[in-house]
Chain A
Amino acid sequence: MPLDTSLVRKPFKVIGTRVRRPDGIDKVTGRAKYGADAFAPGQLVGLVLRSPHAHAKIRKIDTSKAEKLPGVKAIITSADLPDLTGGDRSMRDILENCMARSKALYDGHAVAAVAAVDMHTAKQALKLIKVDYQVLPHVTDVDEALKPNAPLLHDDIFTEGIEPKPTKPSNFIKIAEYGHGDVEAGFKEADVIIEKSYKTEQTHQGYIEPHACLANVSPDGTGELWVTTQGPFVYRNQCAALLGMDINKLRVTSSEIGGGFGGKTHVWGEPVALALSRKANRPVKLVMTRDEVFRATGPTSSSSIDIKIGVRKDGTITAAFAELRYQNGAFPFTWAEFGAMTCWACYDFKNVKSVSKDVVLNRPKCAAYRAPSAPIAAFAVESTMDLVAAAIGMDPVDLRIKNAAKEGTKSSYGPVYGPIGIGPTLEAAKNHPHMKAKLGKNQGRGMACGFWFNFGGQTCVDVNVTPDGSVTVAVGTVDVGGSRASLALAVAEELGVPYEQVRVIVADTSSLGHNDMTDGSRGTFSSSMAAVDATRKAIQTLRERAAKIWEIPVDEVEWMDGTARAVGEKHGNKAPLSVKDISAQAANTGGPIAGHSEIVADGAGVSFATHICDAEVDPETGRTSIKRYTVIQDAGKAMHPSYVEGQYQGGAAQGIGWALNEEYIYGKDGRLQNAGFLDYRIPVCSDLPMIDTQILEIPTPNHPSGVRGVGETSIVPPLGAIANAISNAAGVRLNHIPMSPPRVLKAIKAAKKK
């Protein structure tokens, strides 16, 4: 049911202020407890045995020697995780991804697991497990996997979207199409056509905290799981299903989360830890090493993309076409389809088409990574937009302004936009001081736009007024970056009380109804919507109690500035009642005072950004350093500006790493060569400048304070912005991400030869 948003848009009292977050002190003193920080008496160490082969049949697993090792309390293989999915393909894939069944499908795929009294014993036990592999040919490249004679991963993938449906299985999951108009006709109208192909390599979310959990299953079939996760409810539902437990028998408590960015929305070790604990009848702590995180969790796709844009000399784009081929890892999903949906979303084109091709191959199953699929697509689109601008001699910002989507535009992926921020962010970029700053030797400036949808989803919040009038709020969305502060602001604003009077906690799964994950930039958006809804219900109760105390009808009681007031001259002698006053009498007026909300947070707005980047390229080594960076993004309403800025800066930093240095390097043997922070190179402090931010506020109509999700869009523009900056700095156009020094130097040398 849509929330009544008519009671908003008054000047805010607390929303928008930079308050101190409630978990701040715990996090700066080391007191905060993350996934690996829990300990249970009698706990065992869980450890996973992983396939060293990219693709292999598992003929036999002999655990007999390992079982005899003193200190080993349980060993599991897929035999201990029977398929209870009842034909649900996606659940079956999750099960198989957590523990290989008949085949190992990627280097690092889990094939067995042990629980032992200490790490020494666990490591020894793994060595004693004998796995009989029949090594198969493997494929790790997107375009290779699409070829008809590529090694086949599954025998039951028949390409969706092809008519007639193929009878022969392949790695080609799905072909999909988005767009409108007639691109062929549009290209005929163009004065100039630019066509280019691009490749992007695979990257990982790179959260500093590895996956970790502590599982405790009792012989009566109940279980507890302490885990670092973006979605305790989803983990609960999935783990319970995979282990054959009723959902209400598994209680999942989320620890503080040390980074997720979409990578902690999937289970890997958790069902394994629960199964080990069940078998051993003891708590099992399973913590991944950094090597395991890179090899065997959920990186993002690598891709191969073709772009074609037709433009008239006056800058009107007459047709835009993209074909996007993404790999999904070893199990099917539709990541390319997200790319097809987002790639043209910033623009208003009469004729636009995007085709997505999704494929499986012998790499870990991809998971979401902050605006998943969009940065990859935006790299290709935004690079080409600059080529188009150069071809007709137009300023790149002006080209985008001319073709920008606005309210009423039919998007390239279908819906019609309401009020949106792409135009405003472009105008702000054009006028930003960064655009006028002088550039030095070997330096160039680039800009790019980005888009991301924001999700709403199922959300529950409980607001409870305690006996002394202070307020506790229980939410179900994990706090990844400070949202507890923002949610307290939302409740405090609605209730009309100081921020310090409201305390937010993240509840466990037995204490609240189902909540979807903290993903899709939805954490603050949906929980604040539900929190406001719950607060309004609490206010209704507070009014009723005041009415009872005063013995007047409830419609003569209004709520204003944190107090109940009796309306009308005849009540002039009645002093306002505060939350504290009313709750002090709760026992006599009907019991504890609370408000609950269970909603689907509808109407999430979409989010746009424009970034500006200055890069310096050393022409003799191809090394790029980022000299200046500006993020301009629409937040709808910045609940807590510091944390909105933090999201902008963090997304930009990840995009910079992705653009310049981060990539999965697979050998010819199909094994990952750089499964650590030494050779998977994320930006360090000295790699980056200060990152300037400009928050625009174009409120989304459907949220009580106009909030848009902000967490993801900022990772979408950097790849294109940096590619454009490098092009302007070094005079070479890179079409392969990351634009690492060897690639840039090679391009510079090739350009010199011409």
Chain B
Amino acid sequence: MAKEKGSAFVLAGGTDLLVKMKAGMLEPDLVVDIKRIKGMREIRKSASGFVIGAATPNAALSENAALLKAWPGVVEAAQLIGSKQVQGRCTMAGNLCNASPAADSVPALVAAGAKVVVAGTKGKRKLAVEDVPAGVGRTVLKRGEIIEAIELPAKKAKSGDAYLRFIPRTEMDIAVVSCAVNLSIDGKGVITAARVALGAVAPTVLLVKEAAKALIGSKLDDAAKAKLAAAASAACRPIDDKRGTVEFRTDVAGVLARRAAEIAYARAGGK
């Protein structure tokens, strides 16, 4: 891919690439199918967590019982993309590299603290998922670099994650606004750590530290939830477009943050 003088693209699931080719937005000179490279479609579990090959179709994620148990928020986010047909092909790596502000799997990966393994002609490097998107449709990856795998940390005890998105129908829509929450609690149900990520409300995914702060030290009581929602709404920098208005996205970001936190809290064992 580095050698190609023209435009070169990775083909994993093709659910963004082929759509853009059909629309005439892209006319690649080279397309490299990475699915047959060893390890690209494997999910490996270790003590330090999970390594998910970049070409693993999202449908396979829930078929891995350990992954589903450890990171239900990540899996549900990834499996909200498109239809069952799209699920049979699409990948989280592709979702990230396509760099749509509304990518479903990205907020959940960010909340989980996931990393990507980037392979290039000069070797490998690791990046936090939140450092990959550079803007709408752009990533920090250089020419000749591809994502080889996504790494998820090992699941901490008494932690839970969740992802919610707002769409007008029940399926098949691009997220109008989305929120992922990953949190840990102690024996008394007090939140000790949290990461809150918002999607579709800025050019790239937002890791909202203020929202996390609103949660930490609380037992997710009403006051904490209200602070959380306000922090989430305050962090939004959305646009008006064919899918939603600034006002709507801002309001609903707060609602989803609250609801996602409730699910994550329950998954962590909180009551």
Instruction: Give chain A's interface residues, CB within 8 Å of chain B.
Output: 123, 291, 620-623, 625, 660-661, 665, 673-674, 678-679, 681, 683-684, 686-687, 740-742, 745-746, 749
A679 to B102, CA, bound (A): 14
Let me know if A742 and B244 touch, CB within 8 A. Answer: yes
Within 8 Å by CB of B242, from A291, A623, A679, lies A679
A103 to B247, CA, bound (A): 39
Cross-chain pairs A/B with CB under 8 angstroms, 13 sampled: A622-B248, A660-B168, A661-B168, A673-B242, A678-B173, A681-B169, A681-B172, A684-B169, A684-B170, A687-B171, A742-B244, A745-B252, A746-B247
Q: How many A-B residue pairs have CB under 8 A?
A: 53
Let me know if B23 and A291 touch, CB within 8 A. Answer: yes
| B23: A residues at CB distance < 8 A | 291
Let me know if B170 and A687 touch, CB within 8 A. Answer: yes
A620 to B255, CA, bound (A): 7
A197 to B171, CA, bound (A): 33
Within 8 Å by CB of A687, from B24, B169, B244, B251, lies B169
Let me know if B242 and A741 touch, CB within 8 A. Answer: no
Let me know if A684 and B168 touch, CB within 8 A. Answer: no
Within 8 Å by CB of A742, from B24, B171, B172, B248, lies B248
A270 to B94, CA, bound (A): 40
Let me know if A674 and B242 touch, CB within 8 A. Answer: yes
Within 8 Å by CB of A625, from B166, B170, B247, lies B170
| Main secondary structure on A side of the interface with B | loop
Closest A residue, CB atoms, query B174: A678
Let me know if A621 and B174 touch, CB within 8 A. Answer: no
Let me know if A741 and B247 touch, CB within 8 A. Answer: no
Of all A-B residue pairs in the complex, the 4 with the closest CB atoms, nearest first, are A742-B248, A686-B170, A665-B242, A620-B255
For chain B, which range describes its interface: under 10, 10 to 19, 20 to 34, or 35 or more residues?
20 to 34
Let me know if B24 and A123 touch, CB within 8 A. Answer: yes
Instruction: Give chain B's interface residues, CB within 8 Å of chain A.
Output: 23-24, 166, 168-174, 176, 242-245, 247-248, 251-252, 255
Let me know if A623 and B255 touch, CB within 8 A. Answer: no
Let me know if B248 and A684 touch, CB within 8 A. Answer: no
Q: How far is the CB of A384 from chain B (nearest CB, A)?
A: 26
Let me know if A623 and B24 touch, CB within 8 A. Answer: no
Q: How far is the CB of B266 from chain A (nearest CB, A)?
A: 19
A621 to B249, CA, bound (A): 10
| A741: B residues at CB distance < 8 A | 166, 168, 176, 248
Closest B residue, CB atoms, query A665: B242
Q: How far is the CB of B195 from chain A (nearest CB, A)?
A: 23
A673-B242, A678-B174 are known contacts. Are A621 and B166 too (CB-CB below 8 A)? yes
Closest A residue, CB atoms, query B177: A621
Let me know if A686 and B171 touch, CB within 8 A. Answer: yes
Q: How far is the CB of B245 from chain A (nearest CB, A)?
A: 5
Using A620-B252, A745-B251 as known contacts, list a sample of 9 further A-B pairs with CB atoms less than 8 Å apart, ordered by residue number in A. Answer: A291-B23, A621-B166, A623-B168, A661-B169, A665-B242, A679-B174, A679-B243, A684-B172, A686-B170
Q: How far is the CB of A656 from chain B (nearest CB, A)?
A: 11
A123 to B23, CA, bound (A): 11
| A683: B residues at CB distance < 8 A | 169
Q: How far is the CB of B248 from chain A (nearest CB, A)?
A: 4
Closest B residue, CB atoms, query A749: B251
A661 to B168, CA, bound (A): 7
| B174: A residues at CB distance < 8 A | 678-679
Let me know if A623 and B245 touch, CB within 8 A. Answer: no
| B243: A residues at CB distance < 8 A | 679
Q: How far is the CB of B240 from chain A (nearest CB, A)?
A: 10
| A123: B residues at CB distance < 8 A | 24
Closest B residue, CB atoms, query A661: B168
A622 to B251, CA, bound (A): 11
